[in-house]
Structure 1
Amino acid sequence: MRLIFGLVLLIGIGLAGFATYMAKNYIEQYQQQLAQERKQRAPEIETVDVLVAARDLKYGEKLEKDAVKSVKYPKSSLPEGVFTEATALFPEEARDPREVLRSMVEGEVILAGKVTDPGEPAGIGSRLASGMRAFAIEVDAKSGVSGFLRPGDRVDVYWTGSVGKGNMRTEGNSTGSVTKLIESRMPLVAVDQSADIDRDEARIARTVTVEATPQQVASLAQAQSTGRLSLSLVGALDQTTSEVIEVDQYRLLGIKAAEAPKPPQMEEERCTIRTRRGSEVVMTPIPCTN
């Protein structure tokens, strides 16, 4: 009886060991397959919370807290100027809210360049860079590109007027009625009294406002008071720099201007003394004295 009991015990221990061995192999194979599957998966994307528009926002609208919401955004693709915390977009010390500078659709990320500073209105002043000034140019249908100008466009500025008197010429060897490129790729910050960059309707403007340095403001003011300014729209993708351009009536018609007559040359004054030697008169040059 004892022998049978011992035999059964040995068989049970053997079966238990075999089962443990098989289970261990199964677990190891499962762990290897799981690790291989994890390697084949796409890497986990790190995200951060950013503030986006909770509804469509229009230019000039006051930005309130209920107009934004927080969403997850890939950290590696964050654009510059995002707001990750509500306290940055809505400072507690601000008395008045920010205003919208550019229209935004629902779900669009709110950037610092699309809204004003807290309490600042969405006017021209908020669009000027440091050290820049706003200057208004009077235009009409002819000089203002037929009303197709919008804030955010860039324009070349041409001056047309009369230069030179008599035989005087400009640096470009022009005279009379002249058209010259005086400023290139100037950004527009407003058309009439509107700084809305999303305005899409064509409208004949009376004035456009450009962003310029103080030196450019002085040049434009002088040009506007002495002649007529015309604008030429620069393409949105155009990165070329315009060369010096100056056209007068002679160049326009392909006529070679007549050379100015040379001033008469004054003959050198000669002073002499006459000396009579008998019947002969001798001329002797001497230095002239005044």
Structure 2
Amino acid sequence: MRLIFGLLLLVGLGLAGFAVKTASGRFSQYQDALARTQEAVVPVKDVYVVTRQLRYGDVLQPEDVRAVKWPADALPIGTFDSMEKIFPPEREGERTVLRVMERDEPVLLVKVTQPGADAGLAAALTPGMRAFALQVDVNSGVSGFLRPGDRVDVYWTGNREQGGVTRLIHANLPLIAIDQQTDEERNSPTIARNVTVEATPTVVAKLAQAQATGRLTLALVGVRDETESAQVQATLDQILGPKETVEQARTCTIRTRKGAELVLIPIPCPVEG
């Protein structure tokens, strides 16, 4: 009886050891799998996005934003990571939308004003750039089909050294306003009297001189056109051809009468000595 009990005890101990070893192996496999899973997880951060479409001039409200998880290594520049940064309690005033934002698009610094700041043209200017107004009409302004956000090539036409010339003076200038309208979503044609471009001070000086000494014409650049226009010009000689000097031959005649009629008879002209 004792022998049978001893055998059963040994068998039990063996089975228990086998179970412990098996469980330990399974636990190690689980830990390895968990570690691999944690390594594959992408680090994320909170980013605030808009909950609805917001257009130029809309006032940003707390209910217009919500926090979402965003990959930490792909954060857009100028995002907000807390409600306090979007709506700072110590500063009075509201932020105004400067550019159209679609639903679930991140709120960026460049797309909203500072709290309490005016959503005017100055708020939308890129640092280091200046706004400059050009006078246009239905002919020089692409028949009213310009809108904020478009790009144009600017041509100057005037008299240089008593001859007509048209020259491209600057390419791919961005338009930031049409008359008093800065909304990029405006799509109805309007015959503008002034368009405002964004340019460096050097380009502004060139445009001011060109506008004062000749006539400016705008050429619309395609939305997906990334080519850079070459420096081109056209003169009257290129359009009409070079001037030709026509020498008229000398004609010498003598007068004679045939009855009552006076007749001019051509004769060779004498050689001038």
For normalisation by structure 2, the TM-score amounts to 0.80
Identity %: 43
Q: Which of 23, 38, 45 is the matching residue for 1:27?
A: 23
Q: Aligned AA for 2:92?
A: R
Q: Aligned AA for 1:23?
A: A
Q: Distance in 1 between matches of 2:160 and 2:33?
A: 80
Report the alpha carbon displacement of residue 235 of structure 1 after superposing the two structures with TM.
Answer: 2.8
Counterpart of 2:165? Answer: 178
Counterpart of 2:249? Answer: none
Q: Are 2:188 and 1:154 equivalent residues in the alignment? A: no
1:184-213 Cα deviation digits (max 9, x unpaired): 221111111111122233333221101123
Q: Are 2:242 and 1:256 equivalent residues in the alignment? A: yes
Q: Which of 81, 92, 105 is the matching residue for 1:95?
A: 92
Give 3-state SS (helix, strand or coil) of 2:15's partner.
helix
Report the alpha carbon displacement of residue 91 of structure 1 after superposing the two structures with TM.
Answer: 2.0
Q: Distance in 1 between matches of 2:244 and 2:31?
A: 90
| Runs of 4+ deviating beyond 6 Å | none
Q: Distance in 2 between matches of 1:69 and 1:257?
A: 71
Q: Distance in 1 between matches of 2:65 and 2:147?
A: 28
Report the more deviating stretch, 179-188 or 85-94.
85-94
Report the alpha carbon displacement of residue 241 of structure 1 after superposing the two structures with TM.
Answer: 3.0
Q: Are 2:154 and 1:122 equivalent residues in the alignment? A: no
Q: Aligned AA for 1:107?
A: D
Give 3-state SS (helix, strand or coil) of 2:202's partner.
helix
1:3-29 Cα deviation digits (max 9, x unpaired): x2x324413321221221221232144
Q: Distance in 1 between matches of 2:147 and 2:210?
A: 23
For normalisation by structure 1, the TM-score amounts to 0.76
Q: Are 2:8 and 1:12 equivalent residues in the alignment? A: yes
Give 3-state SS (helix, strand or coil) of 1:209's partner.
strand
Give 3-state SS (helix, strand or coil) of 1:66's partner.
helix
Q: Aligned AA for 2:139?
A: K
Counterpart of 2:134? Answer: 137
Report the alpha carbon displacement of residue 32 of structure 1 after superposing the two structures with TM.
Answer: 5.1
Q: Distance in 1 between matches of 2:207 and 2:41?
A: 56
Q: Distance in 2 between matches of 1:95 and 1:258?
A: 74
Q: Distance in 2 between matches of 1:218 and 1:236?
A: 27
Aligned runs of 1:41-80 on 2, under 5 Å? 43-80=40-77
Give 3-state SS (helix, strand or coil) of 2:167's partner.
strand
Report the alpha carbon displacement of residue 94 of structure 1 after superposing the two structures with TM.
Answer: 2.1
The answer to whether the 8 A contact 1:51-1:70 is kept is yes
Q: Which of 214, 222, 225 is the matching residue for 1:227?
A: 214
Count of residue pairs the alignment pairs up: 244
Q: Are 2:230 and 1:243 equivalent residues in the alignment? A: yes
Q: Distance in 2 between matches of 1:43 and 1:164?
A: 71
Counterpart of 1:171? Answer: none
Q: Unaligned stretches of 5+ in structure 1?
A: 166-175, 260-290
Q: Are 2:183 and 1:196 equivalent residues in the alignment? A: yes
Report the alpha carbon displacement of residue 257 of structure 1 after superposing the two structures with TM.
Answer: 4.1
Give 3-state SS (helix, strand or coil) of 1:26's partner.
helix
Q: Distance in 1 between matches of 2:227 and 2:181?
A: 28
Report the alpha carbon displacement of residue 179 of structure 1 after superposing the two structures with TM.
Answer: 1.0
